[in-house]
């Protein structure tokens, strides 16, 4: 089995010129790619809006054109998957054709170390022997695969400009209009995961999020616990 990854960068052009750029990429590339390849064992993806200098080593960032930057940031979707060795080349050739047709860019396709990533200290506590790390990595990737499939299932579109978005849900238990509010509630209910919001300042503005903002000048002002 081949465990592989790539990182897809979107241009500053229609249909990727709105806040739904990542849903549009999912709808126009990721969903048709995975639906046409039944040999995939699993896949998952995650979105990024980061300065060019932030490079996790999962692509050759120097190969991404300068005109893909927007306000000093690059927008990308990390895509990871497992596929039989004999199907790898055809899958990646098909993926490259679809990406190029969308005027999107990748630097390459490369191997991904599943055990190091999802079996690393970030995802495994206390008992951290090799067997338990391998078990945890497989459980985490199964979870990420399920969430990714749910996201693709919830896509709506394309609209007249070729854009996709998440479905609206007006159930009273989803006050912000997302089906994932209820899924998130159940995740929190099952896991009792600690939640907090952190407020930082650099002296002239505030940043509110769950982690440390990028840059050296941010100072933590307050941690606010959140109940679910």
- DSSP for 91-160? HHHHHHHHHHHTT-B-S--EE--HHHHHTSTTT--S---HHHHHHHHHHHHHHHHHHHHHHHHTEE---T
* pLDDT attached to residue 55: 67
Summarize the confidence of residues 90-103 as an average pLDDT: 96
Condensed to tens digits (0 to 9), the pLDDT of residues 122-161 reads 999 999 999 999 999 999 999 999 999 999 999 999 999 9
**109 and 200 part of one domain:** no
For residue 204, what are the domain limits? 196-225
Are the C-beta atoms of 113 and 2 separated by less than 8 Å? no
**Does residue 205 share a domain with residue 162?**
no
Residues 41 and 118 placed together within one structural domain of the fold:
yes
Per-residue pLDDT, 115: 96
Domain co-membership, 51 together with 161: yes
The pTM of the full predicted model, rounded to 2 decimals, is 0.90
Q: Answer with the one of 166, 188, 209 that is the final residue of a domain.
A: 166
**What domain count does the chain have?**
2
Q: State how far the Cα of 158 lies from the Cα of 102, in Å rounded to an integer.
A: 14
Mean of pLDDT values over 11-33: 96
Look up the CATH number of the domain holding residue 135. 3.30.70.260
Looking at the fold, whether 25 and 134 belong to one and the same domain comes out as yes
């Amino acid at each position: 089995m081949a465990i592989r990854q790539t990182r897809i960068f979107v241009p500053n052009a229609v249909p990727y010129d709105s806040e739904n750029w990542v849903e549009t990429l999912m709808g126009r590339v990721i969903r048709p790619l995975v639906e046409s390849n039944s040999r995939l064992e699993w896949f998952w993806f995650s979105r990024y809006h980061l300065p060019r200098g932030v490079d996790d080593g999962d692509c050759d960032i120097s190969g991404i054109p300068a005109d893909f930057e927007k306000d000093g940031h690059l927008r990308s979707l990390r895509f990871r998957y497992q596929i039989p060795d004999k199907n790898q080349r055809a899958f990646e050739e098909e993926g490259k054709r679809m990406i190029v047709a969308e005027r999107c860019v990748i630097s390459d396709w490369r191997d991904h170390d599943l055990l190091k990533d999802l079996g690393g200290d970030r995802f495994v506590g206390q008992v951290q022997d090799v067997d338990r790390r391998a078990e945890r990595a497989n459980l985490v990737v199964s979870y990420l695969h399920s969430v990714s499939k749910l996201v693709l299932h919830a896509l709506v579109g394309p609209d007249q400009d070729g854009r996709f978005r998440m479905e609206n849900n007006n159930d009273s238990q989803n006050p912000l209009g997302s089906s994932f509010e209820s899924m998130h509630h159940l995740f929190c209910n099952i896991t009792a995961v600690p939640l907090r919001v952190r407020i930082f300042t650099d002296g002239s503005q505030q940043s509110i999020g769950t982690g440390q903002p990028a840059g050296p000048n941010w100072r933590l002002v307050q941690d606010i616990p959140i109940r679910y």
